[in-house]
Structure 1
Amino acid sequence: MPLITILLIGLAGMGGALSRYWLTGLVHKLTGPSFPWGTLTANIAGCFLFGVIFALAEERFVLRDQTRIILLAGFMGSFTTFSSLIFECSQLLRDAQWVLAGLNYLGQTVLGLIALWLGIILIRALG
């Protein structure tokens, strides 16, 4: 992969991270702290944008491969990885791999929660 592509992925990643921070903060201010509406908004918006970018690249052919990689891996990868999970599940569902789609979604969610709790437990145990 050319160095310029790597640098552009990094810059797009910075843009995605800052966009997520701004969006979740704005939604949090508007809705209050009773529910993580900001995260929900970012994840749903990320899924929508992932679909738009994917369709533009794969079906309309208006995005070059390098641009697709920069946008999906860079910007969307920092904006939300939830969109990648949902996209991969949708690909499995498209291929009628119902069990694998369910295992992928539930597995990542449940294992992610367990890993989070284990990380917290580890740090608390270390003092």
Structure 2
Amino acid sequence: MDLDVKRADLAAVAAGGVLGALARYGIGTVYPYTQGDFPWSTWVINVSGCFLIGVLNTRVQRRLPRLLLGTGFLGGYTTFSTAIVEVSQAGLIYLATTLIGAVVAVTAGSLLAR
């Protein structure tokens, strides 16, 4: 792999990551989580991100778009580290619905994309 390809890959991941993180931040700002409530914004972000990962991995085969959209955008958009922190606050029901929702979403996205 030559240096230009590595730079293009890095630029794609960085650009996608910035846009994904901004999208996640925007959703979290519009629908903020307050302790004691169910963290809907994080749940919606992660489940919708899994759906899009299913679509992407089924439909997009070229390297650069996968890096931009998958590793970059969806990597910055989804926030499983926040979900794990919120499990300690929201409980095991949140953990179960996140895991089940993520698996169902990625499967649905893949099936729909086919």
Shorter-chain TM band: 0.5 to 0.7
Counterpart of 1:12 in structure 2 is 16
Counterpart of 1:25 in structure 2 is 29
CA distance in 1, matches of 2:25, 2:79: 14
Residue pair 2:45, 2:79 contacting (<8 A) in 1 also? no
Match of 2:50 among 22, 47, 50: 47
Q: Determine what percentage of the aligned residue pairs are the same residue.
A: 35
Relative to the length of structure 2, the TM-score reads 0.58
Q: Is there any run of 5+ residues in structure 2 with no aligned partner, and where?
A: 81-98, 107-114
**What SS is found at the alignment partner of 2:38?**
coil
Residue pair 1:16, 1:79 contacting (<8 A) in 2 also? yes
Structure with greater contact order relative to length (CA < 8 Å, sep ≥ 6): 2
Q: What's the CA shift for 1:24?
A: 2.1
**What SS is found at the alignment partner of 1:13?**
helix
1:74 aligns with 2:72: yes
Runs of 4 or more above 4 Å deviation: none
Counterpart of 1:3 in structure 2 is 7
Q: Is there any run of 5+ residues in structure 1 with no aligned partner, and where?
A: 58-62, 91-127
Residue pair 1:12, 1:70 contacting (<8 A) in 2 also? yes
Match of 2:41 among 38, 44, 48: 38
RMSD, matched Cα: 2.5
> Partner letter of residue 36 of structure 1?
P
